């Protein structure tokens, strides 16, 4: 039994939620998102809360039960508050800047890396060594952060590169004479 799936998802104030078959749509101050649940999941709107239940007792239906509830909770949070991911840049000469909407990164290559964010994602650079990615879709925000980190991931000897703000780099000792 899914302990997460058992709990109904309360619709926050200021958000209108509609359930049309398998499709859950949420409209809020930040925008509009939808989630289409799998056919093995039943979704219903009861007492200003979305209730998710498995359609049958198969292992496949139960495995998708908790995930569907979490996805619905994430679209509610996204249209109400949005999501944010912070990246830090470490290294001599490594820096970030905005060029219009595009992110320009100097990461020790012979050329600057220019990253064009997808629609719905906003990138801010409060400091040259800090990048803030915001958007209403949690998956998209995480994907953009992962793509930027991929250009020059943190290395274990000096810790140079792009890392998540909450990430801890396990350092290696290096050579000895």
Q: Which of 65-74, 142-151, 168-177 is predicted with the least confidence, judged by mean pLDDT?
A: 168-177
Residue 41 lies in a domain: yes
Same domain? For 75 and 89 the reply is: no
Same domain? For 67 and 110 the reply is: no
Which residues have a Cβ under 8 Å from the Cβ of 137 and sit 6 or more positions away? 33, 78, 83, 120
- Into how many domains does the chain fold? 2
pTM: 0.88
What one-character-per-residue DSSP string does 130-167 give? Answer: EEEEEES-HHHHHHHHHHHHHHSPPPTTT--EEEETT-
Q: Which segments of the chain does DSSP mark as H helices, in order?
A: 3-6, 59-80, 138-151
% of the chain at pLDDT higher than 70 = 99
Residue 168 has pLDDT above 70, yes or no: yes
* Beta-carbon count within 10 A of 150 CB: 9
Same domain? For 52 and 101 the reply is: no
Residue 5 has pLDDT above 90, yes or no: no
Residue after which a domain boundary falls, among 37, 59, 80: 80
Same domain? For 42 and 112 the reply is: no
Same domain? For 47 and 95 the reply is: no
Residue 152: which CATH number?
A: 3.90.930.12
The mean pLDDT value for 62-85 works out to 93
Residue 171 lies in a domain: no
The mean pLDDT value for 74-95 works out to 94
Question: Domain residues for 37?
Answer: 3-80
Residue 169 lies in a domain: no
Same domain? For 67 and 94 the reply is: no
Same domain? For 116 and 53 the reply is: no
> What is the tens place of the pLDDT at every residue in 94-128?
999 999 999 999 999 999 999 999 999 999 999 99
Q: In what order do the strands lie in the sheet with 9-10?
A: 9-10, 49-54, 41-46
The mean pLDDT value for 33-52 works out to 92
């Amino acid at each position: 039994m899914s302990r997460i799936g058992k709990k109904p998802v309360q619709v926050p104030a200021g958000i209108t939620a509609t359930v049309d078959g398998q499709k859950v749509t949420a409209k809020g101050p930040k925008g509009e998102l939808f989630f289409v649940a799998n056919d093995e999941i039943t979704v219903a709107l009861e007492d200003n809360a979305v209730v998710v239940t498995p359609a049958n007792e198969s292992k496949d239906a139960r495995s998708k039960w908790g995930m569907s509830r979490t996805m619905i909770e994430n679209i509610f949070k996204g249209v109400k508050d949005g999501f944010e991911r912070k990246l830090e840049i470490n290294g001599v000469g490594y820096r970030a800047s905005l060029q219009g909407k595009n992110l320009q990164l100097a990461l020790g290559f012979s050329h600057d890396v220019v990253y064009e964010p997808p629609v719905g994602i906003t990138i801010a650079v409060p400091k040259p060594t800090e990048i803030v990615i915001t958007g209403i879709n949690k998956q998209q925000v995480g994907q953009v952060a992962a793509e930027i980190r991929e250009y020059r991931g943190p290395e274990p000897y000096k810790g140079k590169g792009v890392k998540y703000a909450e990430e801890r780099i396990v350092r290696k000792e290096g050579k000895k004479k």
